[in-house]
Structure formats: C-alpha cells, structure tokens
Amino acid sequence: MKKIALLGASGSIGSQTLDLVRSNPEKYQIETLAFKGSNFNLIKNIISEFNPKAVYIKDFKVKEELILFFPKIEFLENLKDCVLFNEISHVVVAVTGNFGLEPTIKALENNKTVVLANKETIISGGCLIKDILKRTKGKIISADSEPIAIQQCLKNENLEKIRNVYLTASGGPFWNKNIDFEKVKLEEVLCHPTWSMGKKITIDCATLMNKGFEVIEIEQLFDINYEQIKVLIHPQSAIHSMVEFIDGNILSQIAVNDMRIVLQYALNGTERKENLSNKFFDFSLINKFEFFEVDKKRFRCLDLAYDAGKKGQSYTAVLVSADELAVKAFIDGRISFIKIPEIIETLLEKHSPFNIRDIEDIKNIEKWVKKEFVIKP
Ligand code: NDP
Ligand code: MG
C-alpha cells in the first residue's frame, strides 16, 4: 500500500492523482492533502471523500470554515507539515511555483519518495535537492511526461552512450500562427492544443518557457549536458521525448496524453503495472508524426531558459520567480503576452549571481525579483 501526501489536490495533476487513488483503494491511500483554498466546495468534497489524517489549506478563512465541518481531522500550520507523518511513503508535489520546494526537501530528508510534477522546485533548488539525495534514502521521480519518457528510454543504458536527447513540445497554440503577440488575449493563450492543464503551465506552454523549464529539469535530473538537449516541435504530442545514442539508434516513448499514465508509472517506482486509466494509444487516430524547429526569435523564453541553465548558480531561481510574476501580470491584464520574455530577460540581466546554499537564498531571490519587477510602457 502506498501511503500518499498529495500537495495541490484540487489542481489538474492533483485531481488525476485522486482518480488513481479512487479507482485503486487497495493500492493507494491518501494520508494528507494540501490546497491553496480557491474552491471551497471542491475542497470540502475531496476531504469528505478521501478522509485524510491531516490537511493544509493556505487561505486562512477557507481553513477556518472547513475546520467546522471536519472536527476529527487535523488542520496543519505549514505546507511542509503534510509530508512529515511516519506512515507516508510517497509525496506527490502538484502545487505550482516555488511552494513545492520546502516540502520536497523535508520529504527527501525524511527518506520519502517524491513524485514531482512541480518542475519549478527542481529548477530553483536543484543543487539543494541533489545534495540531499546524496545523503538520504529519499528518492525523486519526475511526474512530467518528457522526463518520464527520457527515464524510460534510458533504462539500463549508460549515460556516456547518449548522443542527444530530443525533448518534444506541442508548440502551444501559436507556434505556427502568424499573430501579433502584442494583441493576444488570455483566452487564446489558454487554448492548449493537446493537453488540459492548470493556467500557469498552459501559459508557459504558449511562451515555450515550459519547454525551457524542462530543458533545465532534464539537465538536473539526468546530468545531461545542455548542448545535448534539443527541443523539437511535435504538434501531435504523441512522442513525449527521444534519446539518440552514439551508435545512431534512437529510442522514443509514446503514450496517450493522459497524466494518469505518467503518475501511475512514477508512483509505482517506474515499475510496469496494468494501465489503471484504461486508455491506450490508437495509431489509427494519428496518420503522421511531424517535427519542426522552434522559431527562437519569436519564442524567446526557450533561449532565456537555456542561458539561465548554462550560467547556473542563482540564475535558474530568478528565471522561475520572474516567470511567475510576469505570467501573473499577464493573467491580471497588466502586461501583454509579448512582455513576458522582455521582463524576464531584464531581471536576469540585472541579477548578480551567487551560489544557492539554502532555501532562504531562494526566498530572498523571490523578494528581489518582486522588488525589481517593473512594467515599462
Ligand atoms: P493547477 O493550477 O491546476 O493546480 C495547482 C494546485 O496547487 C491546486 O490544488 C492549488 O490549490 C494548489 N496550490 C497552489 N499554491 C498552493 C500553496 N501555496 N499551498 C498549497 N496548495 C497550493 O496546476 P497543475 O496541476 O496544472 O500543475 C501543478 C504543477 O505540476 C506545476 O508545477 C506544473 O508545472 C506541473 N505539471 C503539470 C502538468 C499538468 O498536466 N497539469 C504536467 C506536468 C507538470 P487551489 O485549487 O486551492 O488553488
Ligand atoms: Mg511536460
């Protein structure tokens, strides 16, 4: 039985994790749940259905109200408290932004397995996480479709035999459209062609920052050089990534676009088990696999991510925080879509880099980015 702490239970990844638990009560059990507090009724229903031992809710008012409905459940003070219970074996980190970092660190320090959907955590705090992995029995398995594809292609292979890794991208809604990025509306950006996800990651897909984040994620998780990581637009989103070896052979991973397949594989410690979502790839529905180069002049976020990753130190944490604020400003209607890379680039240029030593350093970077975040007309 896998005993799970699920952080971000009401989101896109969170609800798909709950689907797996719901359909397999003999395999998975929810121990703790965490939410921000955006949807009172949804949270109430989830708590009623899964009856966790403890819950964290960031929004104070929502928490106070829910306490009245669930007097027997413990309501926790901090997000990281959700992972500390002895019986928890797996922590699914499905919150957005840097909020995932502290609970991930605590989970690894307590020898738990972290199923990490929240890629920002490894991008901002990769060096801290790698250090903990060396000295504990904690494990980290990505629950992102591209890293999990690469992990499968690399099973039993030697890293030295890799020539290139091809990271595929759907390209988002605009990769092949000649439209004015100054005038793009939020609704258009949120129309992802192949995946249904939370708002932030959907916008990151449209700017290609999500792919840039994944480039850094791959470097951090598998120690593959940036020069060997190539991004290809693959509009069918069928091949989730490929690895080319020095002998010219290329392995790829294909599956239906259903994160439950990814989550199940990650939760099972990359062991193959019966597909619980019962969705299988149908080749008759796709009559071609296409690949295109990224137009890096139009989609500048990709190179910003490569640059930040190659420079290392605190640059990647600045990238995450700057993107978080720029995307929020776009959602709030304070900036146009085209300003997102501009703002991030300005902040990266202004930043004086240093080596990240602890989580406080990352919190200080968030503060610095907030202070320096200026919207120019
Ligand atoms: P959503 O926006 O759909 O969900 C985010 C979840 O996190 C919600 O449950 C939200 O609660 C909760 N949350 C946000 N902030 C906090 C906080 N401070 N404390 C506690 N809970 C919090 O996001 P997604 O599920 O789409 O994405 C989650 C992560 O997974 C992201 O990092 C994303 O990049 C990554 N990812 C997502 C994929 C997908 O298919 N969606 C694919 C690969 C990676 P509430 O509902 O109350 O606001
Ligand atoms: Mg992905």
Is residue 276, in this structure, part of any structural domain at all?
yes
Q: Determine whether the shortest distance from the Cβ of 34 to ligand 1 is under 6 A.
A: yes
Is residue 322, in this structure, part of any structural domain at all?
no
Q: Does position 377 have pLDDT exceeding 80, yes or no?
A: no
Distance from Cα 191 to the centre of ligand 2, integer Å: 16
Distance from Cα 51 to the centre of ligand 2, integer Å: 30
Residues 297 and 182 in one domain: yes
Q: State the closest ligand 1 atom to the C-alpha of 210, by its place in the atom list counted from 1.
A: 34
Q: State the closest ligand 1 atom to the C-alpha of 97, by its place in the atom list counted from 1.
A: 32
pTM comes to 0.97
Those residues whose C-beta lies under 8 Å from the C-beta of residue 136, and which sit 6 or more positions away, are: 108, 109, 110, 111
Boundary residue ending a domain (257, 286, 311) = 311
Residue recorded with tokens 């989550």: 263
Per-residue model confidence (pLDDT) at position 278: 86
Is residue 346, in this structure, part of any structural domain at all?
no
Number of other CB atoms surrounding residue 192 within 10 Å: 17
Is residue 107, in this structure, part of any structural domain at all?
yes
Q: What is the pLDDT of residues 178-207, one digit of tens each?
A: 999 999 999 999 998 887 889 999 999 999
Q: Which ligand gives the minimal distance to the CA of 197?
A: 1
Q: What is the pLDDT of residues 85-119, one digit of tens each?
A: 999 999 999 999 999 999 999 999 999 999 999 99
**Cα–Cα dist 253/364, whole Å:** 39
Per-residue model confidence (pLDDT) at position 81: 98
Tell me the residue type at 360.
E
Is residue 188, in this structure, part of any structural domain at all?
yes
Residues 161 and 307 in one domain: yes
Q: State the closest ligand 1 atom to the C-alpha of 120, by its place in the atom list counted from 1.
A: 32
Per-residue model confidence (pLDDT) at position 82: 98
Q: What is the pLDDT of residues 328-350, one digit of tens each?
A: 999 999 999 999 999 999 999 99
Q: Which ligand gives the minimal distance to the CA of 192?
A: 1
Work out how many domains the chain is built from and give that number.
Answer: 2
Q: What integer is the mean pLDDT of 357-369?
A: 97
Residues 210 and 246 in one domain: yes
In this prediction, residue 375 has a pLDDT band, given cuts at 50, 70 and 90, of confident
Q: What is the pLDDT of residues 257-310, one digit of tens each?
A: 999 999 999 999 989 999 988 889 999 998 899 999 999 999 999 999 999 999
Is residue 301, in this structure, part of any structural domain at all?
yes
> Atom 28 (ligand 1): residue with closest C-alpha?
94
> Atom 19 (ligand 1): residue with closest C-alpha?
36
Residues 162 and 78 in one domain: no
Q: What is the pLDDT of residues 13-41, one digit of tens each?
A: 999 999 999 999 999 999 999 999 999 99
Number of other CB atoms surrounding residue 22 within 10 Å: 14
Neighbours of ion ligand 2 (CB under 5 A): 144-146
Q: Determine whether the shortest distance from the Cβ of 211 to ligand 1 is under 6 A.
A: no
Bridge partners (DSSP) of residue 242 are 166, 252
Residues 52 and 82 in one domain: yes
Distance from Cα 12 to the centre of ligand 1, integer Å: 7
Residues 171 and 302 in one domain: yes
Q: Determine whether the shortest distance from the Cβ of 5 to ligand 1 is under 6 A.
A: no
Residues 89 and 171 in one domain: no
15, 36, 47, 118: residue to mutate for ligand 1 pocket, most atoms within 8 A of CB: 36
What CATH number does the domain containing 30 carry? Answer: 3.40.50.720
Query: By residue range, what is the domain housing residue 185?
Result: 147-311
Is residue 325, in this structure, part of any structural domain at all?
no
Q: Determine whether the shortest distance from the Cβ of 37 to ligand 1 is under 6 A.
A: yes
What percentage of the chain exceeds 90 in pLDDT?
94
User: Kind of pairing, strands 229-233 and 28-35?
Assistant: unpaired
Contact yes or no for 18/7 (Cβ under 8 A)? no
The candidate with the shortest Cα–Cα distance to 267, out of 51, 55, 66, 29, is: 29
In this prediction, residue 161 has a pLDDT band, given cuts at 50, 70 and 90, of very high
Is residue 326, in this structure, part of any structural domain at all?
no
